Amino acid sequence: MSDRIEIAPLPSPAKIEDIDWLALGTPRPDPFTLRLTVGPAHISRVIPHVPNTTFVQWLESMAVAHSASLGFDDAWHRQRDLIWFVRRHEIDYLAEALEGDDLVMATWVEGFNKTSSPRRYLICRPRDEAVICRAMTVWVLMSRSTRRPQRIDPGVAAAYLA
């Protein structure tokens, strides 16, 4: 498998195969979205489908891309001595993803408390309207230098929830 995941942001979330995100269970009609075509590097050597480890990489890549789209990229975090750590992943694998499948992935932040935030994900295959995966990750904001939890600025939280 490739170390780099190539995921390109879509030009307009509203034009993605006319996906009804609300009907799929998202709380808003316009979650942050990315498109991906499953390539040979995404396929397991054991079973010819996308393995769970690749899904975890995709979830992280989606969270990073969403944050960067809001102005909270790696440079922003480094300037403030901040980094996000995963506390917990929950993943429901609902269908196989196979080589050549075009997938659309959506993510949104569900809310915030003092130092952590649950983020939801949904991965679907538009050609047959299959939901491939639903997931949730609890992210904790930490100091890079001390590795201690840090309070989430209300302005940052508001940007994710706008």
Q: Where are the domains of the chain?
A: 8-161
Q: How far apart are CA 103 and CA 130, in angstroms?
A: 10
**pTM for the full predicted model:** 0.86
Go through the chain and tell me how many residues it has: 162
11 has a pLDDT exceeding 70: no
User: Which CATH architecture is the domain 8-161 placed in?
Assistant: Roll (3.10)
Does the structure show a pLDDT above 60 at 4? Answer: no
How far apart are the C-alpha atoms of 133 and 45, rounded to whole Å? 21
Q: Above 80 in pLDDT, residue 134? A: yes
Mean pLDDT (whole number) for 52-78: 96
CA–CA dist 84, 142 (Å, integer): 6
With cut-offs at 50, 70 and 90, classify the pLDDT of residue 84.
very high
Is the alpha carbon torsion for 67, 71, 77, 82 positive or negative? negative
Q: What is the mean pLDDT of residues 87-99?
A: 96
The answer to whether the beta carbons of residues 134 and 93 sit under 8 Å apart is no
At residue 30 the predicted structure's pLDDT band, cuts being 50, 70 and 90, is confident
- 33 phi and psi angles, rounded to 5 deg: -130, 150
Asked whether residue 5 carries a pLDDT value surpassing 60, the answer given is no
Asked if pLDDT for residue 17 goes beyond 80, the answer is no
